[in-house]
Structure 1
Amino acid sequence: MKLVFIYGPVASGKLTIARELGRLTGLAVFHNHLVVDAVASVFPFGTPQFVQLRERMWLDMMREAAQAKRSLIFTFAPEPSVAEGFPQRAVAAVEAAGGSTAFVQLRVPVAEQERRLVAPGRTEFGKLRSLELLRQMQAQFAASERDMPQAQVAVDTSAVQPPAAARAIADALGLPEI
C-alpha cells in the first residue's frame, strides 16, 4: 500500500492534480476537504474539537486503507490549525500496516496563486477564496509548510498542466498506470 501525500499552498492545484493522478493510476483520491467539511458542519473550524476530530478521521482513513492494502492519494494544505507532527503520524499509521508514504510538494508563484484563488471551482468544497485573508495568513501558511517532511517529488504547477504533472508524479514514484 502506498499513500501519496500531496501537499502545497492554497490554490496550488492539489485536488486537480490528485484527480488526474487518480485517473492515471486508478488510486483512490482522499481529498482533505471531505473531512474538513464534515467536521465543520458540527464544530467551528479551528476549535479543539474540530482539530482533534479532523485529524482522527484523516488518520483512521489512512490506517484502514493501509490495512486493506488500498493505495490512495491524500491532498493536504499545511496550515496553522493542523496539530504539529500530523504528517509524521500519518506516516506511522501507514507504516504500522506495512505501507509506505511518498510526499509530493506542489508549488505555485504568489501571483498565480492569487489569480487561481477566486476561480469558481474553488466553491465546491468551501475552499479559501478571500485574497485579503490569504495575504494576512501567508506567513503562517509558509511556516506550516516548512514543517513538512522532505518531498520525493516537487512540481511547480504554474509550469505544467495537471495531466503532465500527474504523469511526472506517477513516473517519479514508480506508480503503475491503468
Structure 2
Amino acid sequence: MSQTSAPPTLIFIIGPPAVGKMTVGYELARRTGLKLFHNHHTIELALQFFPFGSPPFARLVGEFRQRILEEVAASDLPGLIFTYVWAFDQPGDHASVARLADIFAPRGGRVLYVELEATQQERLRRNETEFRLAQKPSKRDVAVSRQRLLEHDSVYRLNSGGEFDHRADWLRIDNTELPPEAVAERIIDHFALPAAGA
C-alpha cells in the first residue's frame, strides 16, 4: 500500500443462498468503486477440477480467497466487497470470516458486515433469475439448486437473528421487498462510504 493511500475497506455481504448478495454487491461496487469478489468466483473455478465439498475443492476455494484478499489489502485498491454464506451455527465459518477479516485489520483497514435476509419464497424466486444463472453456471440445474437451498435452510442457521445488531460494524437488512439499488444506498448511508471517484 502506498504512503498516500487510505486504509482499505473490506465489506462482507452475508446471507443465505439467493438472498441477493451478488446483486447488491454489484450495485454497491458500481456506486463506491470497490471491487466485487463474490463467493462463486472461486467456487466455479474449483468446480472445474473437483466436486463440491471435496477436500481439494475446499482447500482451493479457501486458499484462492485468502490470497486475493491479501493482495487487495496490500495494494493501492480502496478495498473489496466479498460475499459469503455464513452458517452461524458452524464454528468453522466463524473462523473463516475472522481469518479473512484479519487480513485487513492489521493494515489499519476497515471491516464492515452487511447481513441480508429475505423470505424463503422470495429466495426461491431469485434462485432462478437470469442474472444469477448467468454468473453462476453451477446453479443452472435449477431443480438441484432449489433442492440444495431447501436442504441448507433446514440444516444450517443462515441468518444471525439479530445476534450482532449491537455492533457498529454490522448492518442487517431485510431485502425481501427492496431493490438492490435501495439496499446499496442504505449501506452507503449507514457506513458513510465514499462515492466512486470521490
Same fold, TM exceeding 0.5?
yes
Alignment of 1:1-178 (within 5 A): 1-70=8-77, 71-78=79-86, 83-84=92-93, 85-124=95-134, 125-128=136-139, 129=142, 130-142=145-157, 145-146=159-160, 150=164, 152-178=170-196
Bigger Rg, structure 1 or 2: 2
Unpaired segments ≥5 residues, structure 1: none
1:134 counterpart letter in structure 2: L
CA distance in 1, matches of 2:70, 2:14: 19
Give the aligned CA root-mean-square deviation in angstroms. 2.3
Runs of 4 or more off by more than 3 Å in structure 1? 79-84
CA contact 2:10–2:109 (8 Å) conserved in 1: yes
Q: Distance in 1 between matches of 2:91 and 2:126?
A: 23
How much has 1:95 moved relative to structure 2? 1.4
Query: 1:83: how far off?
Result: 4.1
Report sequence identity in percent.
Answer: 29
SS of the residue 1:175 aligns to: coil
Go from structure 1 to structure 2 and tell me whether the alpha carbon gap of 1:109 and 1:127 turns closer, same or farther (over 3 Å shift).
Answer: farther
Give the Cα–Cα distance (whole angstroms) in 2 for the partners of residues 45 and 81 of structure 1. Answer: 18
- Write the distance in 2 (CA, Å) between the matches of 1:53 and 1:145: 26
State how far apart, in whole Å, the 1-side matches of 2:44 and 2:147 are: 22
